[in-house]
Amino acid sequence: MIEDIKKDTQERMGKTLDSLSHNLGTIRTGRAHPSILESVKVPAYGSDMPLNQVASISVEDARTLKIMVHDKTLSAAVEKAILTSDLGLNPSSAGTAIRVPMPALTEETRKGYTKQARGVAEDARVAVRNVRRDALAKLKTLTKDKEISEDEERRASDDIQKLTDKHIAEVDKALEAKEKDLMAV
């Protein structure tokens, strides 16, 4: 039972780290990266569809994304969706392709993105602590029901705390890398 709780805790904390890396990837740096456009929804075929389902997104050079729309009739809708997406991007059509140049980041916007990254990291830390709280509550229940001894509970609690510390250190490491990336000129 204790091993199941530890395994579940490890798994859930790992998923939190995966979510963190995904969320940090959507915060834009000065370089072009397709994940920047993940949140863009395009009105197509009667519903709002993610951009990556109606077009292929590639990196043309360090500061330009190239979007090839699968259905040419959606080009205008894709362009409008990017313009209205709150990402501060200004796409331009060039025949069948849409190019999205990444504007250079100012010091002010870099600091804003850094603040956003810190918020995302704090959310991940809170999620890791919530997983720890759930695991400790399960251990307390097992002890209360006399299924495990207090010594076993204490040892398992220590192991869970070590897992928590390890995952929070991973969150801090990911945040530090993202901040370094954001502040690089």
Q: Which residues contact 79 (CB under 8 A, 6 or more apart)?
A: 91, 93, 98
Structural domains of the chain in order of their starting residue, each with its CATH number:
2-26+106-183 (1.10.132.20), 34-101 (3.30.1360.40)
- The tens-digit pLDDT sequence of the chain (185 residues) is 889 999 999 999 999 999 999 888 877 776 778 888 888 899 988 898 888 888 898 888 888 889 998 888 888 888 888 888 877 788 888 777 899 888 777 888 888 889 989 999 999 999 999 999 999 999 999 999 988 898 999 999 999 999 999 999 999 999 999 998 888 76
The pair of three-digit structure tokens given for residue 69, joined into one six-digit string: 């729309």
Query: Going along 33-179, which residue ranges are E strands?
Result: 41-44, 47-50, 55-61, 64-69, 92-94, 97-101
